Structure 1
Amino acid sequence: MKRFNFSLQKVLDFREFEKKQAEAELGKAVAEETKIKDNLDTIARSYAENVRAADEAKDITGMLAAQNYFRFLNQQKEEALISLAQAQVITEEKREKMRDAMKNCKVLENLRDKKIAAWKKENFRAEESEIDDIVTSKWN
């Protein structure tokens, strides 16, 4: 019985390598997006904490400092939202690249599976033919 040989195995290996790279890139993009979301959460918590402190401020300098800090937090929030939008676009591009890589691998894997099934069927027929020949030769 001859050994199975898939002629496109090198192409499949390369596509699997591309898929792993796409997975890594997608992971990095998602991590960056999560980091920005965490930064936005931190800004929101800081804003909420300082609202209470601003309400308790009795003098004008405390109120001005709180107002300036809120302006600073709003500026940081706007920058983070812009970064988040950019990160989401990049993440979606990486997801699309990942889908394409997975699709390319799946096509070759399906082709390989069909070829393996055909190879097994052919080997089974060849073995049956040999067994029939052996049995027939013993009877003659």
Structure 2
Amino acid sequence: MKRFNFSLQKVLDFREFEKKQAEAELGKAVAEETKIQSTLDMIAEAHASNVRTADSMKDLSGMLAAQNYFRLLNQQKEEAMMSLAQAKVLTEEKRDAMREAMKNCKALENLRDKRKDAWKKENYKAEENEIDDIVTSKWN
């Protein structure tokens, strides 16, 4: 019995490679988004701790320094929010690319599976015919 040979195997291999690349790119985009989110969390924590220390300050210079620090934190927060928005857009693009790569790969895998099933049925029929011929030749 001859071995199953899928004629589009090289295309399927290439599509699987593209899928792995898309997974890696999506992972990088999600990591960048997570990094920006952690930066925002650190800014929020710094803001909260500065509020606690500013409430206990009595001198004017300390209050002015705290106010300037609040402005800096707000500026950093705005920049991080813009970066986060861009990262979310990029992540969504990478997710779409990943879905497309998975869809292309799945279509070829389904085609391969259908052809393999047809090949198995054909070989099973050929084997049955061969066995029938052997049995029939023994009786004759």
TM-score, structure 2 length as denominator?
A: 1.00
Alignment correspondent of 2:107:
107
* Structure 1 residue runs of 4 or more that deviate by more than 2 Å after TM superposition: none
**Matched residues in 1 for 2:117 and 2:88: separation?**
43
Alignment correspondent of 1:40:
40
Residue 52 of structure 1: how far off its partner (Å): 0.7
Alignment correspondent of 1:23:
23
Work out the number of aligned pairs and report it: 140
Alignment correspondent of 2:77:
77
Counterpart of 2:99 in structure 1: which amino acid? Answer: R
- The secondary structure found in structure 2 opposite 1:57 is coil
Counting aligned pairs with the same residue, the percent is 80
Q: How does 1:87-98 map onto structure 2 within 5 Å?
A: 87-98=87-98
Structure 1: runs of 5 or more not aligned: none
Alignment correspondent of 1:121:
121
Counterpart of 1:112 in structure 2: which amino acid? Answer: R
Alignment correspondent of 2:7:
7
Counterpart of 2:82 in structure 1: which amino acid? Answer: I
RMSD: 0.2
Structure 2: runs of 5 or more not aligned: none
